[in-house]
Amino acid sequence: MRIAVLGVGLIGGSLGLAAREHVEDAEVAGFGRDPSRLRRALELGAITHAAASVEEALEGADLCFACAPVGALPEQVQVALDAAGADTLVTDVGSTKGELLRLIDDARFVGGHPIAGAETAGVEHARADLFEGAVWYLTPLPHSQGLLYERLHRFVVDIGARPVALDADTHDRLVAVFSHLPHVLANVLASQAATRLSDHGEALRQVGPSFRDMTRVAGANTAMWSDIYRSNRHAIVEEIRAFRAELEEVERRLDSGDVAGWNDRAREDRRELLETGAEGEAVHELLLTVPNRPGIVAQVALELGRAGVNIVDLALAPAVDMRSGAMTLWIAGDEQALSASEIAGFRLFTGKAQCANCHSGFAFTDYAFHDIGLPGDDRGRGAVLRLEAAEHAFKTPGLREIGRSAPYMHDGSLATLEDVLRHYVSGIVDRPTISKDLARGLELSDRERADLIAFLGTLTSAREPALPDEIVPVKIGPTTPAAHVSTVSQDDKAFHPTHIALPRGGRLWIVNNDTRTHNVRVFDPALDFDSGAQEPGETVEIAFPATGSFLVFCGIHPKMELYVDVAP
């Protein structure tokens, strides 16, 4: 593996030493502004090559670590990306992420922050074991490349650190609490104590170990910490306000003398914080099948991170047809594992009960419209499409936070999950439009029903979900190069391929190789097309008389999208 390190100080030098010790055949190219520091890094073995430019350092690199101060990181990361190859992952080691990720928009970038360091600086103090057991936060972009994310994750594990995926805003709020606020308080306490004790000539000799411990980081590297304070000022200010409120509560307790419980709680809180993630915990393997689309690995990692799930390791294996892939995750801790009943429910969900036919993917929905046999005259999607095949069809709801969404079904007619299971076992109204994805003749024992409900219970988080501080727009459009073909197939609720190119006046034939009815549509000022019901085995023909880019989709399964580029 070839690694580029931009900025060979304590962190950059330790990265090089750790890579050379733990990664087979590691080559480390270092670049920095001070040639004497690079020579010293070579002497110490932190790098194997001193590069004369960023471009030279990045040549053939698998990973690039940007180790500049926080204020210089946006420029350094962008320069690295400009010099990097298509298969190079660029990351950073800065302690704030929000501003950086708002400025960088490249699928080859994943933010990083190792919670490791020392009071000393410079490559002279670099250590190969600096990251042993340390948490290493990873903050991918929504569209960061999965295979590159896996490479970085594996490297972090190899050098002994524990990768944890977080979104940038959550990361900045966390480090404001456990890193930045302590520095603020150390500065304040040191200055306050100096003011109080200024009249005592032997002041420093009189202070106790508690004061020394609390103020150890006071006045830390001004250039570096000024950047950090400015970059994360909003989160730090919020924590200062919360801290002020806590101090007011302490003041009230001191006035009343009610301090014993407060002190005991603080001791227990500290113990729990420091003992979290202790070594020796069990590791469980989890296998996921995910669609092969940009950002899916980052999405899974971030959601697991938000849920407090520690991914010890991960591996990716794309399917032969490249339409989907397997993610194997190794999860730390018995508390993250499902109970026997929940596991049995998951097997029923994906097997006998056939729930996963429609409730698939990360959000547990195929976003399609199905007639599931609910009684009543509501025509559902059929009234919108004016299509008999879509009569009584309603959109599959996602199951995330299902415990908070009762009552169930589009009309709220089923009050509990027990009522929902009862419907699928014995309440389905038989109609010609019943979804082919629906399990028919389903029989579930009381034990099986209890297991299914136990599994569904795992899809609701312990805390009320909160909206992110910033809504990031998702880019839509083709994700693969256009294929020069005129025939497209439909299979398993998807077009194959999903992006094609045609000449002006060209014709497209869409063959339904699926077991489901489809409805091919184009809504565009230059072309308005509606195939009506396209039954399995039928072919739809579309002529494209105008140039431009067109979106072809299915009215019944709207996530089915085909992009057609028509050239002059």
Residue 512 pLDDT > 50: yes
CATH code at position 419 = 1.10.760.10
Q: What separation in angstroms does the CA of 387 have from each of 88, 374, 390, 556?
A: 49, 18, 6, 10
Q: In Å, what is the CA distance from 494 to each residue of 282, 364, 498, 565, 566?
A: 39, 17, 8, 18, 21
Is the per-residue pLDDT at 44 higher than 80?
A: yes
pLDDT at 192: 86
Q: Tell me the CA end-to-end span of the chain in Å, nearest whole number.
A: 46
> For position 278, what pLDDT does the model report?
45
Q: Is residue 285 part of a domain?
A: no
CA pair distance 66, 76, nearest whole angstrom: 7
Question: For residue 289, is it within any domain?
Answer: no
Half-sphere exposure of 126 (CA within 13 A, CB side): 27
CATH assignment at residue 522: 2.60.40.420
Question: Does the pLDDT at position 18 exceed 90?
Answer: yes
Q: What is the per-residue pLDDT for 222? A: 87
Q: What is the CATH number of the domain that holds 95?
A: 3.40.50.720
SS3 state of residue 158: helix
What's the burial of 30, exposed, middle or buried (CB within 10 Å: 0-12/13-18/19+)? buried
For the cut 70, the answer to whether the pLDDT of residue 207 exceeds it is no
pTM comes to 0.59
CA atoms within 13 A on the CB side of 542: 29
- Asked if residue 356 belongs to a domain, the reply is yes
Do 67 and 114 fall into the same domain? yes
16 and 90 in a single domain? The answer is yes
What's 180's domain CATH number? 1.10.3660.10
- Residue 381 domain-assigned (yes or no): yes
> Do 424 and 359 share a domain, yes or no?
yes
> Does 408 map to a domain?
yes
More confident residue, 133 or 549: 549
Letter for the amino acid at 285? Answer: E
Please report whether residue 332 resides in a domain: no
Residue 523 belongs to some domain of the structure: yes
Q: Which of 416, 432, 466 is the last residue of a domain?
A: 466
pLDDT interval class at 251 (50, 70, 90) = very high
What is the mean predicted confidence (pLDDT) over 43-61? Answer: 94
Residues 117 and 134 in one domain: yes
Task: Judge whether residue 280 has pLDDT over 60.
Answer: no
Given a contact cutoff of 8 angstroms between Cβ atoms, the answer to whether 114 and 271 are in contact is no
| DSSP per residue, 263-284 | HHHHHHHHHHHHHTT-TT--EE
Domain end among 124, 146, 166: 166
pLDDT digits (tens, 9 = 90+) for 474-500: 667 887 889 999 999 999 899 999 999
pLDDT score recorded for residue 276: 53
Tell the residue number behind the tokens 């004790």, with chain if given: 197
Question: 226-230, 284-288, 374-378: lowest mean pLDDT where?
Answer: 284-288
What pLDDT, on a 0 to 100 scale, did the predictor assign at position 62? 96
Is the domain of 126 the same as that of 183?
no
Instruction: Give the strand pairing for 162-165 and 135-140.
Output: parallel
373 and 435 fall within a common domain: yes
Share of the chain above pLDDT 70, in %: 90
Q: Considering its fold, how many domains does the chain have in total? A: 4
Q: Is the pLDDT of residue 281 over 80?
A: no
Question: What DSSP state is assigned to residue 429?
Answer: P
Do 560 and 442 belong to one domain?
Answer: no
- Decide if 80 contacts 64 (C-beta within 8 A): yes
pLDDT at 273 over 90: no
What three-state secondary structure class fits 233? Answer: helix
Q: What pLDDT, on a 0 to 100 scale, did the predictor assign at position 321?
A: 58
What average pLDDT does the structure give for the chain? 88
Q: Is the pLDDT of residue 228 over 60?
A: yes
- H or E element, residue 306: helix 296-306
One-letter identity of residue 178? F
User: Range of 348's domain?
Assistant: 338-466
Question: Which candidate, 130, 133, 91, 82, places its Cα nearest to that of 6?
Answer: 91
Q: How does pLDDT run across 136-145, given as a tens digit for each residue?
A: 999 999 889 9
**Are 160 and 190 members of one domain?**
no
Q: Which of 145, 166, 187 is the last residue of a domain?
A: 166
pLDDT grade for 31, boundaries at 50, 70 and 90:
very high
Mean pLDDT of 516-534: 95
Same domain, 89 and 15: yes
| Residues 446 and 377 both lie in one domain | yes
Range 186-190, long-range pairs (CB < 8 A, 24+ positions): 186/214, 186/215, 186/216, 186/217, 186/218, 187/218, 187/219, 189/214, 189/215, 189/218, 190/215, 190/218, 190/219
d(CA 318, CA 324): 6
φ and ψ of 212, to 5 deg: -60, -40
Kindly report, residue by residue over 65-92, the tens digit of the pLDDT.
999 999 999 999 999 999 999 999 999 9
Cα–Cα dist 3/20, whole Å: 10
Whether 28 and 145 share a structural domain: yes
Measured in degrees and rounded to the nearest 5, phi and psi for residue 111 equal -65, 150
The pairing of strands 63-66 and 89-92 is parallel
Residue-level pLDDT at 309: 73
Question: 3-state DSSP call for residue 170?
Answer: helix
Q: Is the pLDDT of residue 206 over 50?
A: yes
Q: What is the pLDDT of residues 128-174, one digit of tens each?
A: 989 988 889 999 998 899 889 999 999 999 999 989 898 999 899 99
Q: What is the DSSP-derived secondary structure letter of residue 396?
A: P
pLDDT of residue 39: 93
The answer to whether position 265 is within a domain reads no
Residues 353 and 440 reside in one and the same domain: yes
Residue 406 has pLDDT above 70, yes or no: yes
Whether the predicted pLDDT of 45 surpasses 90: yes
Separation of alpha carbons 62 and 536, rounded Å:
46
Query: What is the pLDDT at residue 204?
Result: 53
What is the tens place of the pLDDT at every residue in 413-429?
999 999 999 999 999 99
**Matching residue, tokens 């080691």:** 93
Q: Is the pLDDT of residue 465 over 90?
A: no
Q: Alpha-carbon distance 7 to 127, whole Å?
A: 15
